[in-house]
Amino acid sequence: MGYYIGIDLGGTNIKAGVVNPEGKTIGKLSVKTNASRPMKEILVDMGQIALDVAASCALPISEISAIGIGSPGTPDNVSGQLIYATNLPFRNAPFRSVIGEMTGLPVYIDNDANCAAMAESVIGAAQGVADSVTITLGTGIGAGIIINHRIYSGFNQAGSEFGHTVIVVGGVLCSCGRKGCFESYASATGLIRMTQEAAAANPDSVINRLIAERNGKASAKTAFEAMREGDGTAAKLVDRYIEYLAEGLANVINAFMPEILVIGGGVCNEGEALLNPLLEKISDKTFFGPGVRKTEIRLAKLGNGAGIVGAAMMAKACYDDGLAG
């Protein structure tokens, strides 16, 4: 007893790790998801990798208290099923019954972005704090809310979709069908779109040369690189991107008032070129009366391993709370 297995289910890999109660990963394994397979085969592989990773740490299964699964899509931690996921062949996938039967352990399930937030909360940038929000700027915008050391994602476990809150009514069409979503402006994808638009509108900009050097493709770094070369168009573009990002993050703060707001994802590698103007803009958009404590903004500490740790620590929280697994 006392150890937890975290399984990070992705479209490409199933990763599993044994995690101690303090959030330290003591061993991990990975297998291909092979997402086009029948659902049942994937579930059985998840059960097997849980058994295997415990064995790889020379731990009898009796030393494991529970298994946590971080998955894309909408989980139902009451029934132990994954109701639905966009990129995986899952409808009401019986995670708990299949993996629980194979291992004899309680099985808990939550969304992968929520598990990432849990990991930051236990051993990352928001360690030791009761209320935090973690926002990951990637292809989309992932978000997880931690309230009183527990994941909060609404009555149906489908909440914390900050990426799909509108910041520009009538704005750019989002993949979700809404227009003007935060994700359409502040994700890496949004930045790339704006970079391409700026290049087309400003043929003399350094951005165009950088795109040409990358076989015609802009990346989320292109605008920052061109700005560092002194390009005025790029500087304006970066400022506009950070403005959108600040609007969305300020919205999160004004609504949730986390003690720490964690931001992660590749864009954050830009460091102070991103963070300094971002903090200044957020400060202008958030309101704390005199004497009211302010939300602190920090960069995420954890990388790819966060999925395993977060899933394991989510399981620990559920287990400690006595939830049926």
CB of 22 to a second copy, least distance (A): 23
CA dihedral 20, 22, 24, 26 (to 10 degrees): -20
Fill in the per-residue mask, 16 to 55: x = in contact with a second copy (CB under 8 A), - = not in contact: ----------------------------------------
Please tell me the distance from the alpha carbon of residue 5 to that of residue 105, in angstroms, as a whole number.
10
Q: Does 58 bind a second copy (CB under 8 A)?
A: no
CB of 127 to a second copy, least distance (A): 15
Q: Does 230 bind a second copy (CB under 8 A)?
A: no
Contact pick of 6, 73, 124, 144 for a second copy (by CB under 8 A): 73
Place of tokens 């946590």: 68
Measured at the alpha carbon of residue 212, what is the angle toward residues 209 and 215, in degrees to the nearest 5? 155
CB of 186 to a second copy, least distance (A): 11
Other Cβ atoms closer than 10 A to 173: 11
Place of tokens 């973690």: 134
| CA neighbor of 3 nearest in space, from 61, 70, 44 | 61
CB of 47 to a second copy, least distance (A): 23
Terminal-to-terminal C-alpha distance of the chain: 15
Contact pick of 24, 37, 91, 214 for a second copy (by CB under 8 A): 91
CB of 143 to a second copy, least distance (A): 8
Please tell me the distance from the alpha carbon of residue 125 to that of residue 120, in angstroms, as a whole number.
5
Q: Does 279 bind a second copy (CB under 8 A)?
A: no
Looking at residue 181, the DSSP 8-state letter turns out to be: B
Site for a second copy in 247-266 (CB under 8 A): 247, 250-252, 254-259
Q: Are 254 and 286 in contact (CB under 8 A)?
A: yes
Task: Considering the complex, state which of residue 95 and residue 162 has its C-beta at the smaller distance from a second copy.
Answer: 162
**Hey, is 57 helix, strand or coil?**
coil
Task: Considering the complex, state which of residue 180 and residue 266 has its C-beta at the smaller distance from a second copy.
Answer: 180
Please tell me the distance from the alpha carbon of residue 133 to that of residue 39, in angstroms, as a whole number.
32
Fill in the per-residue mask, 129 to 168: x = in contact with a second copy (CB under 8 A), - = not in contact: xxx---------------x----xxxxxxxxxxx-xxxxx
CB of 71 to a second copy, least distance (A): 12
Give how many residues touch a second copy by CB under 8 A.
55
Could you write out the DSSP letters of every residue in 79-100? TTEEEE-SSSS-EEE-HHHHHH
Binding site for a second copy (CB under 8 A): 73-74, 83-86, 91-92, 129-131, 147, 152-162, 164-169, 176-178, 243-244, 247, 250-252, 254-259, 284-285, 287-295
